[in-house]
Amino acid sequence: MYKVDHFINGKSSSESNKTSKIYNPSYGTEIGEVLCATNEIADKAVESAYEASKAWSKTGLIYRSELILKFRQNVINRSKEIIDLGISEAGKTRPDAEAELDRAVQALTHIAGVQHFYPSHYSQNVAGGIDIADLRFPIGVIVGVGPFNFPILIPLLHSAMALVTGNTYIGKPSEKVPSVSRLYADIWKESGLPDGCYNVVNGDKETVEFLVRHEKVDGLAFIGSTAAAKSLKMLGVEHNTKVQALGGAKNHMIVLPDADLDMSADAAVSASFGAAGQRCMAVSVVVAVGDIADELLDKIKERMPNLVMGVTDDDKTQLGPVISPENKDRIYSFIDSAEPDGATLVVDGRIRSNSLEGCFVGPTLIDNVKPGMAVYENEIFGPVLSFVRAKTYDEAMKITNSNNFGNGAALFTRDGGVAKKWSDEIQAGSVGINVPIPLPTYAHSFGGWKDSAFSETKGFGPSAIEFYTKTKSLSTRWPDPADSKVDLGFPRNDN
């Protein structure tokens, strides 16, 4: 048993009036507890970050970039500890935790090159000897709220982007997986980050809302459910806090009749059941077009029994648990609703998972799913794949684009012309042609459309800099005093 505390102004803080239990999802057993912050504790973190921002915001880009590289190396040095926490708290398989850490390190590599994607527009002699420049500044104190499913990557991505652009940071990790964020605090300090620039406050929904309302908090970077994302965006507007809120998903994979069905089946199984379906970019709906549906369904079904499900401290495991008993029960309830709603339960994963301890849901395949059914309309966030049948490409597109979510989508085909048409018409933020999980590299934009995002900026990529900074335009002119005169007219650009 261990206890996860707060980290404020460069020091551990154990102030709390309550705690929350931490469980190992593979076994369903309690392994630790995390302190829950009061508003007073959260306020101390804000004051710490606010005071630190006065000096940190004036440091140079190159200095901050070099510190990111030091942090990156120290993260690599502590990789075993980070990966083990991802396995024990988040229920990740070892390959999944290792891959998440790899992506996190790649993110740091990209972020350290901030001077290459830190735009500053300058126009010389736009009118009468006037030069205009857009100057970029950090916004101030940023709060990062990460989801339980990426405890290694998201806190690192949020904090590194905030710090490299001159902001200070307060992390509020999911109470289910708090340890990696707290470990990052020690690594940042070891790397030479000044006290107060990175803080960790553990807590719940009320803690997040308190921070968004705080007059000295300038921004919130959030990833979680659509309901929470929308609520926090509205709260941010009310309190003039800049909010980047990324929400849920229901990613569709359309398979056309000309596609390679074995490759499509491999992709569907991999993208649906990897990480127990707990990815915002997981494929949760396969839309089969035309007369390939039965064959594709059989190919997906025949691959499912070969998935090795079990505890994630066993290196042979491919499919681990979902995060908690509550999530397991919620997923079971959606499976319960399938047949009464008119769908066909082809593979009931509960038959496999009912015999296991821990928070397991076996891989499940549901055929004849239609819009309006509970399994279709909701983000289940588990290893449940819905199979939808469409007669034509146009019908498949109508189904997909009518869904309220728009995080990701995929198309499997050999027809370049159709693929180009699809890429233009699909209503989602990250899309892939013969790529089932089209998560881009960090030089490109990531973020959803429709109810998958409540933000004017992307989670990463070129436009992310717009969230972490603000601009002012500077107009300068050095005229001859002899030409000065009073002129009450609206400024003109005659010369």
Residue range 165-206, pLDDT digits in tens: 999 999 999 999 999 999 999 999 999 999 999 999 999 999
Q: CB-based contacts of 78: which residues, under 8 Å, 6+ apart?
A: 183, 187
- The pLDDT value recorded for residue 494 is 67
- The pLDDT value recorded for residue 128 is 83
pLDDT at residue 46 is higher than 90: yes
Rounded CA separation 107/95 (Å): 18
**Residue 474, strand partner residues:** 133
- The pLDDT value recorded for residue 480 is 87
As a residue count, the chain comes to 495
Angle at alpha carbon of residue 420, lines to 250 and 297, rounded to 5°: 45
> Which strand (E) or helix (H) includes residue 2?
strand 2-4
> Which strand (E) or helix (H) includes residue 56?
helix 39-56
- The pLDDT value recorded for residue 149 is 97
pLDDT at residue 389 is higher than 70: yes
- The pLDDT value recorded for residue 375 is 98
Give this prediction's pTM. 0.95
- Mean predicted lDDT score pLDDT of the chain: 96
Q: How confident is the model at residue 17 (pLDDT cuts 50, 70, 90)?
A: confident
Residues of the chain with pLDDT > 70, as a percent, come to 100
- The pLDDT value recorded for residue 118 is 85
- The pLDDT value recorded for residue 16 is 86
Report phi then psi at 93, rounded to 5.
-70, 160
Give the other-Cβ count within 10 Å of 332's Cβ.
18
Angle at alpha carbon of residue 90, lines to 322 and 435, rounded to 5°: 70
Q: How confident is the model at residue 394 (pLDDT cuts 50, 70, 90)?
A: very high
Report phi then psi at 31, rounded to 5.
-120, -10
pLDDT at residue 445 is higher than 80: yes
Quick one: which of 194, 139, 195, 199 has its CA closest to 167? 139
pLDDT at residue 282 is higher than 90: yes
Q: How confident is the model at residue 495 (pLDDT cuts 50, 70, 90)?
A: low
Q: Average pLDDT, stretch 354-373?
A: 97
Q: CB-based contacts of 231: which residues, under 8 Å, 6+ apart?
A: none
Catalytic site residues? 280
**Residue 450, strand partner residues:** 405
- In 304-454, which ranges are continuous DSSP H helix? 325-338, 350-353, 374-377, 393-402, 416-425
**Residue 23, strand partner residues:** 30
pLDDT per residue over 119-131, tens digit each? 889 999 998 889 9
- The pLDDT value recorded for residue 423 is 98
Q: Average pLDDT, stretch 239-258?
A: 98
- The pLDDT value recorded for residue 487 is 86
- The pLDDT value recorded for residue 116 is 87
Q: Average pLDDT, stretch 195-221?
A: 98
Rounded CA separation 341/40 (Å): 48
Q: Average pLDDT, stretch 319-334?
A: 98
Rounded CA separation 332/353 (Å): 11
Residue 222 near residue 205, CB atoms below 8 Å: no
3-state DSSP percent of the chain in helix, strand and coil, to 5: 40, 25, 35
Tell me which of 92-101, 159-168, 395-404, 472-481 is least confident: 472-481
Q: Average pLDDT, stretch 475-481?
A: 92
pLDDT at residue 493 is higher than 80: no
